Amino acid sequence: MSRERIERIEKTIREKEPLVERLRDEFSKVIVGQEEFRMGLLTALFCDGHALIEGVPGLAKTLAAKTLASCLDAAFSRIQFTPDLLPADLTGTMVFLPERGTFEARKGPVFTQILLADEINRAPAKVQSALLEAMQERQVTFGGTTHPLPKPFFVMATQNPIEQEGTYPLPEAQVDRFLVKLKIDYPSSEEELAILERMGSPEPPSASAVMDPGMLLELQRLSADVVVERSVLEYMVRIITATRFPRQAGLQEIADLISYGASPRGTLCLQAASRARALLEGQGFVTPDIVKEVAPDVLRHRIILSFEAEAEQVGVEEVIKTILGRVPVK
């Protein structure tokens, strides 16, 4: 590990720390509690990834996206996914102008900076693919022309875990394109009281801009510079390998519970998320503890459980907990 490089990065992080703290404070002013969810969202944002969010209706997923856009002074769009949605409704299309006798590109709501894709599993596969392609390529093609998407471009996609009728589950290959999958749960009694006091008032709090999109791009570049020494990289690889070949990792008790483990994209996402979390915590290098913090969000949608796991009612959270508890740091 280069001490000079770490010192240089940490000096820059200290300069940016007040900005990051203001962002976290402004975000928490509106979104009460849900610390893990808020940190997961900012982690994905800081490493230029996207977030898939699972939670029942009414847990402030839309409010979180709008608040984030307000904090960043960024353009915001919300798309309600429905069974009759078409790819052109997202990406845009060519519109004929009779007065000019020409076609004009009419860009869709995907041309924004913060995009909320609400109930993504309610739209057919071709619509899901259109969004996921835009997420991956950061550009959209229609009318024979390729249109780059704005920077930054951050997608929050939500899905409801309890309503399965009329849904089109996302294929594993497409879910893998999300950097993290975040679970948002009911607030505690104290948090719910705080929600009533804040949001039930005549003038509920609203977020103010603490940075602009250009500043966010700088933070994303800084996140990519956070140091990860080789021993920590090896630890990440051991975690990912344990999801694929649990027996080789000495995890016989979960070997029959996993059908497929994380792909190499998952390894890259684990590294990127660890760097972003280190930046959020004011560090210029990644530690094994930081890897453990972000690993559940990165792996939650990348481990495919077997029928045996379903029969034994073992969830992916238990499997991840076992892996992180048993895989040695060194």
Please write down the HEC assignment for all residues of the chain. CCHHHHHHHHHHHHHHHHHHHHHHHHHHHHCCCCHHHHHHHHHHHHCCCCEEEECCCCCCHHHHHHHHHHHHCCCEEEEECCCCCCHHHHHEEEEEECCCCEEEEEECCCCCCEEEEECHHHCCHHHHHHHHHHHHHCEEEECCEEEECCCCCEEEEEECCCCCCCCCCCCHHHHCCCCEEEECCCCCHHHHHHHHHHHCCCCCCCCCCCCCHHHHHHHHHHHHHCECCHHHHHHHHHHHHHHHCCCCCCCHHHHCCEEECCCHHHHHHHHHHHHHHHHHCCCCECCHHHHHHHHHHHHCCCCEECHHHHHCCCCHHHHHHHHHHHCCCC
- The residue-averaged pLDDT of 151-157 equals 93
pLDDT reading at 174 higher than 60: yes
Same domain assignment for residues 215 and 230 = no
Q: Which residues, in sequence order, are CB contacts of 51 under 8 Å at separation 6+? A: 40, 41, 44, 45, 154, 155, 156, 157, 178, 179, 180, 181, 182
Q: Which of 221, 255, 272 is the last residue of a domain?
A: 221
Q: Which pLDDT belongs to residue 159?
A: 86
pLDDT reading at 222 higher than 70: yes
CB-neighbour burial class of residue 77 (10 A; exposed 0-12, middle 13-18, buried 19+): middle
- Residue 123: CATH number of its domain: 3.40.50.300
pLDDT reading at 1 higher than 60: no
- The residue-averaged pLDDT of 321-325 equals 94
- Residue 287: CATH number of its domain: 1.10.8.80
Same domain assignment for residues 308 and 172 = no
Same domain assignment for residues 31 and 117 = yes
In angstroms, rounded to a whole number, what is the distance separating the alpha carbons of residues 146 and 83?
27
pLDDT reading at 102 higher than 80: no
Instruction: Count CB neighbours of 96 within 10 A.
Output: 9
The model's confidence at residue 127, banded by pLDDT at 50, 70 and 90, is confident
Q: Which pLDDT belongs to residue 166?
A: 61
The model's confidence at residue 225, banded by pLDDT at 50, 70 and 90, is very high
- The residue-averaged pLDDT of 273-277 equals 96
Choice between 70 and 166, residue whose per-residue pLDDT is larger: 70
Among the ranges given (37-46, 86-95, 217-226, 291-300), the one the predictor scored with the smallest mean pLDDT: 86-95
Same domain assignment for residues 210 and 259 = no
Same domain assignment for residues 272 and 149 = no
18 within some domain: no
Instruction: Count CB neighbours of 131 within 10 A.
Output: 26
Q: Which pLDDT belongs to residue 261?
A: 92
CB-neighbour burial class of residue 108 (10 A; exposed 0-12, middle 13-18, buried 19+): buried
Domain count, the chain: 2
8 within some domain: no
pLDDT reading at 31 higher than 90: no
4 within some domain: no
Average pLDDT of the chain to the nearest whole number: 88
Choice between 158 and 145, residue whose per-residue pLDDT is larger: 158
Same domain assignment for residues 159 and 58 = yes
169 within some domain: yes
Same domain assignment for residues 45 and 159 = yes
Q: Which of 187, 221, 255 is the last residue of a domain?
A: 221
In angstroms, rounded to a whole number, what is the distance separating the alpha carbons of residues 81 and 117?
7
3 within some domain: no
Same domain assignment for residues 216 and 76 = yes
Same domain assignment for residues 93 and 168 = yes
What is the extent of the structural domain holding 273? 226-330
The model's confidence at residue 240, banded by pLDDT at 50, 70 and 90, is very high
Q: Which pLDDT belongs to residue 307?
A: 92
Same domain assignment for residues 264 and 211 = no
Percent of all residues in the chain with a pLDDT value above 90, rounded to a whole number? 46
Q: Which of 193, 221, 249 is the last residue of a domain?
A: 221
Same domain assignment for residues 236 and 216 = no
In angstroms, rounded to a whole number, what is the distance separating the alpha carbons of residues 179 and 45?
10
Q: Which pLDDT belongs to residue 50?
A: 94
Same domain assignment for residues 175 and 323 = no
- The residue-averaged pLDDT of 232-257 equals 93
pLDDT tens column, 38-65: 999 999 999 999 999 988 888 888 888 8
Q: Which pLDDT belongs to residue 140?
A: 87
pLDDT reading at 114 higher than 60: yes
